[in-house]
Amino acid sequence: MRKLKYYVACSIDGFIARKDGSFKDLFLDGEVVNDYIESFKLFDIVLMGRKTYEVGLKEGKTNPYPMMKSFVFSCSMKASPDENVEIVSENAIALVKSLKNEAGKDIYLCGGAN
């Protein structure tokens, strides 16, 4: 059975971004980031919420994790801008249970607490 793993880069006080939503102080290179990127080999599915997905979308990245099957949980997004990113608007728990029971690598839960 796959494991669902919450794995994010954050500050020591538990924040992913600044209060204004920017990532100004987040390290964007170096060993920490290299280790973070290397960890992607452990996963073949990524789950994220709309707010997390929209961070990359604002930068023109419609598929921020092309090496994984991506699911975005949202009640407000009706369609995905990328054929490899699936929008999930209902039955989230059933989907996660189903994914966990499939064969494969672990599942990466990415983003903030909401």
Q: What is the pLDDT along the chain (114 residues), one digit of tens a residue?
A: 999 998 776 666 666 666 776 666 555 656 666 777 788 899 999 999 998 899 889 889 999 999 999 999 999 999 999 999 999 999 999 999 999 999 999 999 988 766
pTM above 0.85, yes or no: no
Q: What pLDDT score was predicted for residue 63?
A: 96
Q: What pLDDT score was predicted for residue 59?
A: 85
Q: Tokens 């290299």 identify what position?
A: 34
**CATH number for position 47:** 3.40.430.10
Q: How many CB atoms lie within 10 A of CB 19?
A: 6
| DSSP secondary structure code for residue 41 in this structure | G
Pick from 53, 113, 40: nearest CA to 82:
53
Structural domain tally of the chain?
1
Q: What pLDDT score was predicted for residue 15?
A: 66
With a CB cutoff of 8 Å and minimum separation 6, the contacts of 51 are 111, 112, 114
Pick from 69, 74, 72, 10: nearest CA to 40:
69
Segments forming the whole domain that contains residue 59: 4-110
Pick from 56, 21, 42: nearest CA to 108:
42
